[in-house]
Amino acid sequence: MVKLGQKVKDRITGFEGIVIAKCFYLNGCTSCQIRPDKLKEDGSIHETQWIDEQQLDNESKASSGGPGDVPPAMATP
């Protein structure tokens, strides 16, 4: 399962980037919107692509944000 914020790569085309949205269809298909994490040579942004989740490989276990590990509660003096 791909999570928002993860870096992924399309097994078929080699397209890679960060998952910025997911869409769940009635027929059971899940598509992910991928934004490339690199700019074009002229400095402009590549267009995003919608790709079926089943053909994506996770390249990292990146977090989608949040506080991360929560420290243990401090002892009261």
Distance in angstroms (rounded) separating the CA atoms of residues 16 and 31 = 14
pLDDT digits (tens, 9 = 90+) for 14-40: 999 999 999 999 999 999 999 998 888
- Residue 21 inside a domain? The answer is yes
- Residue 52 inside a domain? The answer is yes
Distance in angstroms (rounded) separating the CA atoms of residues 62 and 9 = 14
Q: How confident is the model at residue 50 (pLDDT cuts 50, 70, 90)?
A: very high
Counting the structural domains of the chain, the total is 1
DSSP state of 34: E
DSSP state of 12: T
Distance in angstroms (rounded) separating the CA atoms of residues 13 and 58 = 15
Q: What is the pLDDT of residue 1?
A: 87
- Residue 20 inside a domain? The answer is yes
- Residue 31 inside a domain? The answer is yes
Q: What is the pTM of this model?
A: 0.70
Q: Taking the mean position of all CA atoms in its chain, how far away is CA 59?
A: 9
- Average pLDDT of the chain, as a whole number: 84
Write out the residue range of the structural domain in which residue 25 sits.
7-58
- Residue 68 inside a domain? The answer is no
The first and second tokens of residue 15, run together, are 């397209």
Question: Does residue 63 carry a pLDDT above 50?
Answer: no
Per the model's pLDDT, the better-predicted residue between 8 and 40 turns out to be 8
- Residue 11 inside a domain? The answer is yes
